[in-house]
Amino acid sequence: MLEFRTAGFNPYSTKYSPFHDSRLAVSAGANFGLVGNGRLYILNLTPNGIACEKYFETQDCLFDTAWSEQHENQLLTAGGDGSLKLFDLGVAGAFPVAGWQEHGREVFSVHWGLVEKGQFLSSSWDGTVKIWTPERKESLVTLPVHSCVYSAQFSPHHPAIVTCVSRDSHLRVYDLRTKASAQNHLTLAVPIHAPPKLPVPGYGQGSVGPSECLTHDWNKYRDSVLATAGVDGVIRTFDLRNPSGPVNLLPGHEYAVRKISWSPHLSDVLLSASYDMTCRVWTDGSNVEKGGNGAGFGRELGRMDAHTEFAMGVDWCLFGAEGWCATCAWDERVLVWDVREYMRPA
């Protein structure tokens, strides 16, 4: 396990570069992001450990960051002052090369288009998701959600599909090909707290109350599958072909789940970071070779509890062996580790 200390700043998010296997970005804020400055770290994995290649200071906390998919040196940040900033590592100086200010409140997530790589999106506490292109000053599309949006993503399989989860416990799916009628491209709104179709052992039947949904992620292999997680500590998987409720529930986290990420290597494995200070590896039971038969029960595969404060961000390394990941937490540490070392028998 490698470690880097972001002294004086509490990390919120970490992302591996899609271009370099040794480059990592961490967005952080002082005073746990409540008040004070923000900082964006660019870290390099070296044989001697993790070294900071560069960092950028910002006026307000940086809640999220996303690497550009079309330019290896550029990355985007989501600011607590409602701003989006594009930084370029190849440009000398401490300032971003582009910035956008439309959101009225804290921007909480940014995501770069994985198919249409000239676009990115942002989601904010002002209840909107905005889609942008780096070449334009104004946003291309604004998707009103009317609820605090904690996480929004492009589908990794289709350029026109955008999803978001929000405070009102709904997973919304937008199809940008549809007309911007009264629906504003909204095509699906899935209640996250709905009971599952099939009963899940260890989890009571019937509907639980709605709870804030803090994060979601698209499965990288199955193009209709997503996972969501939030304040109730339960990770749920959804299949958009059956949008009435969750397919699987993965209970186990004691407190709210802050971030989840599907593995880029294995179609059934996901990683989570939680306010219970642990990062856990899960399978949703869909792996046929493991006897899941495509619809098995999910379970926890392993747990890493080296963090000593709320765990905030996780990301998988796209390169090399399939277990490497990076996590960050409010203990001012970024850990790079191999999930295979933390697996435990069923």
Partner 1 sequence: MADALCGPTNPLQHFKQQTSLDRTLQQDRLTSRLSPAQGFRSHDPNAGLLDPEFEAFQAGLPASDLPQYQPFQPHQQPFFAGPSQAPSWAQDFQQLQISPSPLQQQQYPSQSGPSTAGWAQGFRQHVPQSAPRSQHTSSPSPMAFQQRARMGYGGFQSQFTPQSSYAPNVHQSKGKEPVYEQFDDVAFEQAFAQAREEIMDEVEDKSSMQEDLDTVHDQLFNVIQNEQEAIFSPEEQAQTEEQRAHDEQDALAATAQELLSKVDDNKSDKFRNSQFLGLMRKLRDREVRVEGDKMVETVSSTLLKPAFTHTPSHDSTYASGTSTPMSWDSAHFDTHICNTSGCDVDHAYDHWESPATTESSTLNAPSTKTMPIFDNSEQRPSPLAAPAASRPLVDTRPPDYGHDDDADWGRIDPRDGQGVRDLLTEMGGGTVQHDEIGTSTIAASTPNNDNDNMPSAVEGEPPFYADLRAMHGPRTESASLSEMLYGHDGTLERPVVWSSRDQSPTREQLERGYVRKDIRQRMH
Footprint on residues 176-195 left by partner 1 (CB under 8 A): 181-182, 184
Q: Given the structure tokens 């993965």, which residue do they identify?
A: 250
Q: Which of 132, 218, 330, 337 binds partner 1 (CB under 8 A)?
A: 330
Closer Cβ to partner 1, 35 or 140, answer by number: 35
CB 315 within 8 A of CB 43: no
Closer Cβ to partner 1, 73 or 287, answer by number: 73
* Amino acid, res. 199: P
Please report whether residue 332 would count as binding partner 1 according to CB under 8 A: yes
Q: 61: which 2 tokens?
A: 């906390």
What is the DSSP annotation of 9-74?
-EEEEEEE-SS-TTEEEEEEEGGGGSSS-EEEEEEEEETTEEEEEEEEEESS-EEEEEE-SS-TTE
For residue 136, give every residue at least 6 positions away whose Cβ sits within 8 Å of its Cβ, in sequence order, or none: none
Binding mask 257-296 for partner 1 (x = CB under 8 A): ------------------x-x-------------------
Q: Which of 177, 197, 204, 254 binds partner 1 (CB under 8 A)?
A: 254
Residues 33-62 that bind partner 1 (CB under 8 A): 33-37, 44, 46, 48-55, 57-60
Distance CA 244, CA 330 (A): 36
Residues 82-141 that bind partner 1 (CB under 8 A): 85-86, 88-99, 103-106, 125-127, 134-135, 137
Distance CA 130, CA 40 (A): 22
Q: Which of 333, 337, 339, 342 binds partner 1 (CB under 8 A)?
A: 333
Minimum distance between the CB of residue 216 and partner 1, rounded to whole angstroms? 15
Q: Which of 113, 231, 233, 92 is nearest to 161 (CA)?
A: 113
Q: 285: which 2 tokens?
A: 């039971």
The stretch among 194-202, 286-294, 307-315, 317-325 that binds partner 1 (CB under 8 A) is 307-315
Q: Which of 218, 310, 324, 342 binds partner 1 (CB under 8 A)?
A: 310
Closer Cβ to partner 1, 210 or 243, answer by number: 210
Minimum distance between the CB of residue 269 and partner 1, rounded to whole angstroms? 25
